[in-house]
Amino acid sequence: MSALRTLSVDLGERSYPVVVGRGARHALRTLMPQGVRRIAVVTQANVPDALIPTFEGVEVHHFTIGDGEAHKSLETIQDLMRGFARAGLTRSDCVLGVGGGLVTDVAGFAAASYHRGIAVAHVATTLLAMVDAAIGGKTGVNIPEGKNLVGAFWQPCAVVCDTEALDTLPESEDRCGRGEMAKYHFIVREDLSALSLEDRIAECIRIKAEVVAGDERESGRRALLNYGHTLAHAIEVNSNWSIAHGEAVVIGLVYAAHLANVMGRIDERRVTEHYAVVQGTYGLSATLSDGFDDDALVASMKRDKKAVTSLTFVLDSSDGLEVVEGISEVHIREALTAHRRYGVSS
Q: Kindly list the catalytic residues.
A: 116, 138, 180, 208, 218, 222, 226, 229, 233, 245
Beta strands 16-21; 38-44: pairing state: unpaired
Sheet order of strands, 119-124 included: 5-9, 16-21, 158-162, 119-124, 94-99, 38-44, 59-65
Q: CA 334 to CA 314: how far, in whole Å?
A: 17
Is 226 a residue that touches ligand GLY (CB under 6 A)? yes
Is 225 a residue that touches ligand GLY (CB under 6 A)? yes
Is 106 a residue that touches ligand GLY (CB under 6 A)? no
Is 122 a residue that touches ligand GLY (CB under 6 A)? no
Site string for ligand GLY, 235-274 (x = CB under 6 A): ----------------------------------------
| H or E, element range at 120 | strand 119-124
* Contact (CB, 8 A) for 54 and 5: no
Is 102 a residue that touches ligand GLY (CB under 6 A)? no
Is 183 a residue that touches ligand GLY (CB under 6 A)? no
Helix or strand or coil: residue 106?
helix
Beta carbons within 8 Å of 39's beta carbon, 6+ residues apart: 32, 55, 58, 59, 60, 61, 93, 94, 95, 96
Least separation in angstroms between residue 190's CB and ligand GLY is: 19
Least separation in angstroms between residue 25's CB and ligand GLY is: 22
* Contact (CB, 8 A) for 9 and 209: yes
**What Rg, from alpha-carbon coordinates, does the chain have?**
20
Closest by CA position to 97, among listed 115, 75, 85, 112 = 112
**Of 132-140, 141-149, 238-246, 337-345: span binding ligand GLY (CB under 6 A):** 132-140
**Of 106-114, 119-127, 188-196, 220-228: span binding ligand GLY (CB under 6 A):** 220-228
Beta carbon nearer to ligand GLY, 63 or 255: 255
Beta carbon nearer to ligand GLY, 53 or 108: 108
What residue ranges bind ligand GLY (CB under 6 A)?
A: 132, 136, 138, 222, 225-226
